[in-house]
Structure 1
Amino acid sequence: MGSNVENDKPWKEQLASFLKDPTRRNLRNLLQLEAVEDNDLEFKRELLPFDLLAKHILAMANKDGGAIVFGVEETNLNQFSPCGLSNSFDITDIEKKLEPYVPKKLEISIIPTYYKGEDYPEFKDKLFLIIIVKYNPRYVPFIALKSGENLKKDTIYIRRNRASEPINYDELQEILNNRIETEYSTTDERKLIEHLEELKELYNYIPKSIKKVVSYKPPSVPLNFGLAGQQFKNFFGETEYETLPNPDYPEESYEGFIKRLIEIKKDIIIKLVKKS
């Protein structure tokens, strides 16, 4: 499997699908489109030493996330072929051996993929291992927790030119800015929810309707207190009420206000789509 310029766009689109849904079909499609290694995609023939694997995971998590696929070999420069893993593995063991190097907030998914009886001979009866590294700007930068032969403790790694390297000043500023923007966005969202809940509570303090006295019949002294029902009613008098809209209730209901916000948001989205 080789790579050319014409295939760059299709395999990139397939990579996006693969990262969202790392199924056997999406992996097969990715390799058949002659994908090459990039900052968000790494191919390896066999499993790596765990400190080196942790280094790649940390670097991807600090960039934009990505995938590491084991069981794919580089046959020529930027040409990759599915060879399958020669040895089996234990997912729990991988997780335990990565744990000393990687912060708990860093999320990964470890997915074994086996092609049994596939129609495509290059995949048939082959085992692959996929590690999906999730990107969460709220927690970057992720720092190595432990030193190893291939990484240093308290060092921030990032993907650069298809390699995992120590971060430089400009890259650090970029990911910190991304984190700040994400925190602002999250804070604004939280504030909006709080404001809406408080507004709804205020609406509950004002009744939508009020009762107005229409007529009142004065009480009469009952002759026989044994006839409790009607005679006690006459004793206290009779009042008729009419239910009317509360003039102090806001003209726009809470539901109407939410509906108006939805329409405003829709207009903003439409304008953004037209500009793009």
Structure 2
Amino acid sequence: MDEKGLKEKFAKLFDDPNRETFKIALNNLTGEYDDLEFKEQEIDEHILAKHILGIANTSGGVICLGIKEGDNGLTPIGLDDSSDSTDLKKKLSRYLPYNLDYEVHPIDFDDKELWGDIRNKSFKIITIEYTPENIPFLPMKDSRDYKKTDIFCRKNSSTTRCEYDDLQNILNKRISATQKYLNIDHELNELEILMKRTSPQHTLFYTINNPNFLKIISQFKEKKIKRIEKGLGIDGFDEN
């Protein structure tokens, strides 16, 4: 499968973690990537938090618990002792910043034949959002493996401490994202002015005194909406 096809399968798992998307992804994924991590069992929360931080600082992604990675590919062994997802998030919260956006999704399979070798097995999927306007994320407390001043990222399918170039890359992404949001704020402020100029009270005035100006303002408003749509990556806008 080409990289695009692989990303599509991975995206479905990220957007909607459930038994179907998990099985599809498992059949198409071959190993770890910068935005994808596999662990055989639940690991110490401070180590799991480190991987979440690294993925959040790099591009967002998914951590799959209950998957063994070996020379022959991925083996879904399931979790021997699956803790409550809420309890796991509570433990992770001691190490993760409050504005780091992630979720823990339990994936449990029953004994139906259609599940094949993942019947009666349990897994956890941790989805980590990418919010470049908030990076870098740092640990909230020290652990026996790192300090709260450490910054982690993903390189070569591994979580590692950032070096100078890695940190510069993270900061540049944050600056770029912040500038984008600032520009959008500016565009929305200008749209608000145009919307007021095409309000009913203004429309009546322009229709009587200067209909051509009203037409121009309306065209400006339509172009501004399209510009904002493009900047936000959305398909359409409904004024109503």
The two structures have a TM-score, normalised by structure 1, of: 0.74
Q: Deviations over 1:216-264 (max 9, x none)?
A: xxxxxxxxxxxxxxxxxxxxxxxxxxxx822487242643432344678
Q: Deviations over 1:65-94 (max 9, x none)?
A: 1111111112x3261111111113112211
2:221 partner letter: I
Q: 1:186 aligns with which of 165, 181, 185?
A: 181
- Specify whether residues 34 and 195 from structure 1 end up closer, same or farther in structure 2 by C-alpha distance, changes over 3 A only: closer
**4+ residue runs over 4 A deviation:** 6-9, 202-207, 260-268
* Alignment partner of 1:252 is 2:239: no
User: What does 1:122-201 align with in structure 2 at a 5 Å threshold?
Assistant: 122-201=117-196
Q: 1:108 aligns with which of 102, 106, 125?
A: 102
2:46 partner letter: D
User: What does 1:73-92 align with in structure 2 at a 5 Å threshold?
Assistant: 73-74=68-69, 76-77=70-71, 79-92=73-86
- Specify whether residues 86 and 7 from structure 1 end up closer, same or farther in structure 2 by C-alpha distance, changes over 3 A only: farther
- Specify whether residues 133 and 265 from structure 1 end up closer, same or farther in structure 2 by C-alpha distance, changes over 3 A only: closer
User: Which of the pair has more CA radius of gyration?
Assistant: 1
- Aligned residue for 1:164, secondary structure, equals strand
Contact 2:54/2:153 (8 A) holds in 1:
yes
CA drift of 1:110 comes to 0.4
Q: Deviations over 1:104-130 (max 9, x none)?
A: 110111000011133132111110011
Structure 2, gaps ≥5 residues long? 232-240
CA drift of 1:198 comes to 2.2
- The residue that corresponds to 2:87 in the other structure is 93
Q: Matched residues, percent identical?
A: 31
* Alignment partner of 1:40 is 2:35: yes
- Specify whether residues 78 and 138 from structure 1 end up closer, same or farther in structure 2 by C-alpha distance, changes over 3 A only: farther
CA drift of 1:8 comes to 5.6
The two structures have a TM-score, normalised by structure 2, of: 0.85
Question: Which structure has the highest strand share of the two?
Answer: 1
Q: 1:208 aligns with which of 204, 218, 225?
A: 204
Q: 1:22 aligns with which of 17, 21, 28?
A: 17
- Specify whether residues 7 and 262 from structure 1 end up closer, same or farther in structure 2 by C-alpha distance, changes over 3 A only: closer
Contact 1:7/1:33 (8 A) holds in 2:
no
Contact 2:34/2:158 (8 A) holds in 1:
yes
How many aligned residue pairs are there?
229
Using the alignment, how far apart are the partners of 1:55 and 1:142 within structure 2? 10
Using the alignment, how far apart are the partners of 2:226 and 2:20 within structure 1? 40
- Aligned residue for 2:32, secondary structure, equals coil
Using the alignment, how far apart are the partners of 2:89 and 2:134 within structure 1? 20
Using the alignment, how far apart are the partners of 1:267 and 1:183 within structure 2? 17
Structure 1, gaps ≥5 residues long? 1-5, 211-243, 269-276
Q: Deviations over 1:38-90 (max 9, x none)?
A: 1111111110001100100000000001111111112x326111111111311
Using the alignment, how far apart are the partners of 1:263 and 1:141 within structure 2? 32
Using the alignment, how far apart are the partners of 2:57 and 2:171 within structure 1? 10
- Specify whether residues 265 and 86 from structure 1 end up closer, same or farther in structure 2 by C-alpha distance, changes over 3 A only: closer
